[in-house]
Chains A and B, each alone.
Chain A
Amino acid sequence: MSAVVHDHSHGHEHGDHHGGYSGLMRWVTTTNHKDIGTMYLWFSFTMFLVGGVMALVIRAELFSPGLQIVDPDFFNQMTTMHGLIMVFGAIMPAFVGFANWLIPIQIGAPDMAFARMNNWSFWILPFAALLLILSFFAPGGAPGVGWTLYAPLTVQMGAGMDFTIFAIHLLGMSSIMGSINIITTILNMRAPGMTLMRMPLFCWTWLITAYLLVAVMPVLAGAVTMTLTDRHFGTSFFNAAGGGDPVLYQHIFWFFGHPEVYIIALPAFGVISQIIPAFSRKPLFGYASMVYATTAIAILSFIVWAHHMYTVGMPVTGQLFFMYATALIAVPTGVKVFNWVATMWKGSLTFETPMLFAIGFLFLFTLGGFTGLVLSMVPIDIQLHDTYYVVAHFHYVMVAGALFAAFGGVYFWLPKWTGRMYDETLGRIHFWLTMIFFNITFFVQHFSGLAGMPRRIPDYPLMFETWNNISSIGAFGFALSQLLFLYVVLKCIRSGAQAPEKPWEGADSLEWTHLPTPAPYHSFDPQPVLELEERP
């Protein structure tokens, strides 16, 4: 997405970071945060398409009851890989891409703190993705255990499971290195005058996300390492016969897994917190409360994990504790939603594509939050556990939450990245197609879930056919709409109209006020001394 960026500032006195390479080697060897951000974004979009094709296989099979297209084993491999690829290959790298592009230019830093490590964090990813894909060709195929990789099934899988475990290790290393880089950049590299409480909220949400990543990615690495040693080295962490316990795996996994939910959601909150004020032409309402709410969500996320496993037979006191703690998260999340709405209140709103995606996010993410609140209640969750209601819930927060925010962010910053405007009409069409097909796909899953349709099953009773027909049609529409997104972005890069210096009059963070459009290849070197107004 920065195809035109490198034309600028080559004569800079601090030397040229291309290292004399051009063509492909420029991208392999680059340590420039803008190049690396671009690569993260393209990588995540590629994985988004790969994971999307897998989702289409799932929806094609589920179009009608009975087994038509794939056998149940392959179906399970599809649900597993769709989940892993979308979470670790598409959504997480997309927001790391945003972080690379934006954090240095939002805090006035010349680059990320560890530019070489940054290159390494990215280039691990394609190999991890390759390992995941290769597992399909291992004897027994890819693991069909669900993205949560629950024992004891993982202990019984073929060699594809080992490929997946090593892929998780690599993805974890990449995330941890990226997080160390982000924390160090934000804490040590801010321009003079850029105090923590003046930072754009996107930087705040990423700072907290990076801490979450450093804290929980190693726990996931530990869990899959235990699975690996159970499989091959005679340990029995999860093997009941050797004194282990499969439920232990679920505890360790969800100790990672619940903060992971916020690792995905918080940067999305950050993007939305940049977009809504810009198109409301008002500063963000309740900036400090946003920071505290983000921190509160992050802290609470460590003590709610067992709400994913109410049905394992835990004591009722445990269920009550996790139920109340989970319901408590609605409070800081509510603070955020109210702050976004209050930002729009009496603002002079315009509805360009980024704002449309932000409002779509606000509406649908809140719906997903509400179904999450429903699921946090033990008696209801025991009824709805592992049904399509859960599938609908987490797609409302993952797709309509994180993905909508990522789309909004791409449209918002595309002029800053490329120096060209995207086609506004096509952008709006992309939004409306995405919005409509998303709801066709996932809204009906609430109903099939309430009626009892189990998730991760390739076949189902006849009574669920109508809901699944609708859902599958929606899924194919949703997927095709994303090709339009690809076209809009390519058209913008290749032949978009010249972007004005400040395409969004309401945007007030550093990259809009202190840098030309497009952002030069090297920026803020030397760093500016900022005289920023105090936040209200």
Chain B
Amino acid sequence: MSGGRDARRDGNRRMALRLSVVALAMFGFGYALVPFYDAICRALGVNDLVKADARPANTQVDASRTVTVELDANAHHLPWRFRPLVRRVTVHPGELAAVEYEIANMRGRPVTAQAVPSYGPARAAPHLRKIECFCFTQQTLAAGETRRMPVVFVVDPQLPRDVHTITLSYTFFEVAGRGGAS
């Protein structure tokens, strides 16, 4: 009887060990979901807010329409002064446009931050193509530094005809733990 009990105890221990390995692997799986999610988003073309867009295939300027692009700027819990140099620009679809933003770091030490764009109306988002943008990289500003940065974009002629105004809004978020952030 006691021999049988020892064999069973060994069997139980092996089982517990195997299940613990499964539990540990699943903890790792939770972390593996991070790059997996990234790859899925890239494959499906969603969530690529801070990467350069391809220029529209049709480069014909549609002079028959004009679209107003309103520019907006916010800093989220960040001691930065952040503003566009012009409030709005009027462009023809297909026409290359360039605007400038100004940021100034009001804090007494360097700060790193990342701008994240958003669009209104949301269905205009795929049609406002950013060729060049300060939001493609993190920005580090020294204490008191002021910087002017360009955004170059094209409004795709595929834009639905009933959209006359697009709002392009940027929000700067501090990248915690980098560049002297708290």
Contact = CB atoms under 8 A, between A and B. Distances in A.
Contacts of B29: 218-219, 222
Nearest to B44: A315
B73 interface: no
Contact of A239 (B28, B34, B37, B176): B176
B15 A187 contact: yes
B23 A176 contact: yes
B26 to A, nearest CB: 4
Interface stretch (A58-66, A124-132, A247-255, A406-414): A247-255
A188 B11 contact: yes
A252 B44 contact: no
5 closest A-B pairs by beta carbon, nearest first, are A234-B177, A222-B30, A241-B173, A218-B27, A218-B26
B174 A215 contact: no
Contacts, number: 105
B47 interface: yes
A218 B24 contact: yes
A242 B114 contact: yes
A359 to B, nearest CB: 36
Interface in A52-106: none
Given A218-B26, A243-B114, A184 B37 contact: no
Contacts of A237: 34
Contacts of B27: 218-219, 221-222
Given A188-B8, A234-B177, A219 B16 contact: no
A239 B30 CA distance: 17
B36 to A, nearest CB: 9
B175 A223 contact: no
Interface string B119-160: 000000000000000000000000000000000000000000
B54 interface: no
Interface string B1-39: 100000010011001100110111011111101100100
Contact of A214 (B26, B41, B114): B26
Interface string A414-430: 00000000000000000
Interface in A194-245: 214-223, 226, 233-237, 239-243, 245
B113 interface: yes
Nearest to A256: B30
Interface of B: 1, 8, 11-12, 15-16, 19-20, 22-24, 26-31, 33-34, 37, 41, 44, 46-47, 50, 113-114, 116, 172-178
A334 interface: no
B107 to A, nearest CB: 16
Contacts of B12: 113-114, 184, 188-189
A217 B30 CA distance: 10
Given A218-B23, A234-B178, 10 more contacts: A180-B16, A188-B8, A188-B15, A217-B23, A217-B26, A219-B27, A222-B30, A239-B173, A241-B116, A252-B33
Q: Tell me whether chain B's interface is mostly helix, strand or loop, or mixed.
A: helix
A240 B23 contact: no
A187 B8 CA distance: 11
A516 interface: no
Nearest to A237: B34
Nearest to B77: A156
B142 to A, nearest CB: 19
Interface of A: 113-114, 176, 179-180, 183-184, 187-189, 214-223, 226, 233-237, 239-243, 245, 247-248, 251-252, 255, 313-315, 318, 526
A180 B44 contact: no
A251 B34 CA distance: 10
Contacts of B24: 218
14 contacts: A113-B16, A114-B16, A183-B15, A215-B22, A217-B23, A218-B24, A219-B27, A219-B29, A219-B33, A220-B30, A222-B27, A239-B175, A240-B173, A255-B30
A252 B30 contact: yes
A189 B26 CA distance: 26
A215 B26 contact: yes
B33 A221 contact: no
B19 A219 contact: no
A393 B50 CA distance: 39
A481 B111 CA distance: 58
A217 B24 CA distance: 10
A221 B30 contact: yes
B23 A248 contact: no
A237 B177 CA distance: 13
Given A188-B15, A221-B27, A240-B116, A180 B20 contact: yes
B26 A245 contact: no
Contacts of B172: 241
A248 B16 contact: no
A235 B23 CA distance: 24
Nearest to A181: B16
B44 A248 contact: no
A215 B24 CA distance: 9
Contacts of A242: 114, 173, 175-176, 178
Contacts of A176: 23
A180 B24 CA distance: 13
B134 to A, nearest CB: 13
B121 to A, nearest CB: 14
Contacts of A180: 15-16, 19-20, 23
Given A188-B8, A248-B34, A241 B26 contact: no
Contact of A314 (B16, B46, B50): B46
